[in-house]
Amino acid sequence: MRVHPVVAVSGLGVSAVSAFVFRGTPSAGIPRASPAATELSNYPERVAKEPGWAKVEYEIGGIGWSNPAIDEANENITKKMQANGETIFNLWAPWDQAQVRTQDAPSYRELMDVVDFTWQIPGTERWWYDLNIDDAVRMQPFPLERIRFDPRNLQPHRFPEQVFDHLAEYHAPYVRKLKALVEGTPLEKESLEELASRKTRNETIDNAVGMCYNTGLYWESLSSKSDWGGDQWAHGPLKEKIEKKYGSLKGFKDAVVTAGMALFGSGHLWIVSDKTGEVDIVTTSDASNPMREGKGYPLLVCDLWEHAFYEDFRNDKKKALTSWLNLMNWQKGNKRLETYMEKMKLKDLAPTPAQEMKPKEPEPTPGPAA
């Protein structure tokens, strides 16, 4: 059955109310939502690609704040649909289980899965649908990594078009390829990191695993300056170990650029922790990673395949490296370092837990010139 979010009314605290319209013909599996919007909108007509789904003729509303005008609009649209002979279910959360039984609607768990799928950063809820990668986002056992930042906030160090093309043209295809390769084999029961840490006897699988793992960590390694990106957020064990190894943050950044520029061809630059708890900068070629080569445990990574930066910087790899340093996610690096050190029984080597060293809010900086 096609799941059609009409409007979601979000309240503060534990009070939240959501309304959805269900329309169309039955469809196997968990229902999929049309993309949500943050305001009352009329989107173009589109036809679902999957068989068994009805044509979507009108989309309105989304996940956002409700008001009387939206409520009235939804009521009018529902009446219009019913007048055209459509069967419409208006469902609200907090959930009415009686509605589910009497209307043969999807379960609360299924619907909340749909809501979670469409809920992203305000104003960006339609990314996955518009990029035609929503199947990869939901793909198991190794789904496409959901980026947790708004690409618009990465400017001028990365631009949205570069991020979207990287996701749609490179990352998502490898996710689909990996699923096809491991489906029905014992490999699908392992975690992606477990597979990435070793080689199988199949080079095609190894390459697909590597590209999925490396690119997924690359997205986690990025953050805007308003969040945890850039050396103004430098803190915690990672900062202390970097300064101990390289003398200063400037020395560290110089070493990153030097190592990245020395990498021949495509590959990745990594910030890693070795088994003694010390950090290092290493590079790997193509789809490989430090775990496979015995170079350490990955904390953060800069993707140095040209498809990761060519639209923004053409073949200027040095600029791609310096721009990545301005987006380097210190919070993620600290968390991964602490997790690895705890796993290796090296907790005593961490001078200060990252979560106890939350940095000060930086001074606001002007955005890029129009």
Confidence of residue 369 (pLDDT cuts 50, 70, 90): very low
Supply the range of the domain harboring residue 9.
Answer: 1-22+69-98+105-121
Q: Taking residues 305-321, what's their average pLDDT? A: 95
> How large is the average pLDDT for residues 310-327?
95
Total tally of structural domains belonging to the chain: 2
CA distance 282 to 291: 11
- Cβ pair 1, 26 in contact under 8 A: yes
Do 7 and 146 fall within a single domain? Answer: no
Model-level pTM? Answer: 0.64
Same domain, 223 and 313: yes
pLDDT band at 30 (very low <50, low <70, confident <90, very high): very low
Amino acid at 104: D
d(CA 313, CA 322): 11
* Residue 14 and residue 147 in one domain: no
Query: pLDDT of 158-188, one tens digit each?
Result: 988 899 899 999 999 999 999 999 999 999 9
Same domain for 263 and 157? yes
Tell which wins on pLDDT, 248 or 353.
248
> Do the domain assignments include residue 28?
no
Taking the C-alpha atoms of residue 247 and residue 293, their distance in angstroms, rounded to an integer, is 27
Going across the sheet that includes 267-273, the strands are 279-285, 267-273, 297-303
% residues pLDDT > 70 (the chain) = 60
Please state which of the ranges 21-30, 196-205, 254-263, 280-289 shows the lowest mean pLDDT: 21-30
Say whether the peptide bond before residue 94 is cis (omega within 30 degrees of 0): yes
Could you read off the pLDDT of 339-363 as tens digits, one per residue?
999 888 765 444 444 443 444 444 4
Q: State pLDDT tens for residues 216-238.
A: 999 999 988 767 677 888 889 99
Are 4 and 22 spatial neighbours (Cβ–Cβ below 8 Å)?
yes
Output the pLDDT for position 287: 97
Confidence label for 140 from pLDDT (cuts 50, 70 and 90): confident
* More confidently predicted of 157 and 228: 157
Query: 135 and 114, same structural domain?
Result: no
Q: What does each C-alpha distance from 63 to 1, 16, 82, 236 come to in angstroms?
A: 20, 11, 23, 36
Helix, strand and coil in the chain, % to nearest 5: 45, 15, 45
Is residue 357 assigned to a domain? no
User: Where do runs of H (alpha helix) occur along the chain?
Assistant: 68-83, 97-103, 108-118, 127-130, 134-137, 160-166, 172-182, 192-196, 203-220, 236-246, 249-262, 290-293, 310-313, 317-325, 330-343
